[in-house]
Amino acid sequence: MALNAIFQTAISLNKLYKVNRKAVNPGEAEQLRTSLYINSGKVNVYGYNGASEPSSLSDMTLNSENEGVFGTVPFSTIPTYIAVEQNDGTTTELVVSGLDVNEIEDIS
């Protein structure tokens, strides 16, 4: 099944992404709830809201509720930057919904 280009974006592990919240159309509000889909395995989702761009995962925050997540995970807070690393198993597909993300660079 193909991604819906209006509100879904495939992302990759170990990449830094700048995040912008997408505008929500009234008829699509529920469908555009912000979330991350992880097809298998478990991942850690790092966030960053600092004044400058982070250069490594150690510059970012890993909250306990974002460690070892799997399935479809809603965003309760939307940071300025996100990065995802493998925690356990093998993840082959990551999809963000309801957010506009731009890949910046590899990060570790």
Three-state DSSP at 27 gives helix
% of the chain with per-residue pLDDT over 90: 70
Give exposure, 35-56, as e/b (b: 16+ Cβ within 10 Å): bbebeeebbbbbbbeeeeebee
pLDDT average, residue stretch 94-108: 94
pLDDT on residue 68: 98
pLDDT average, residue stretch 20-29: 59
Domain assignments of the chain as residue spans, ordered by start: 8-106
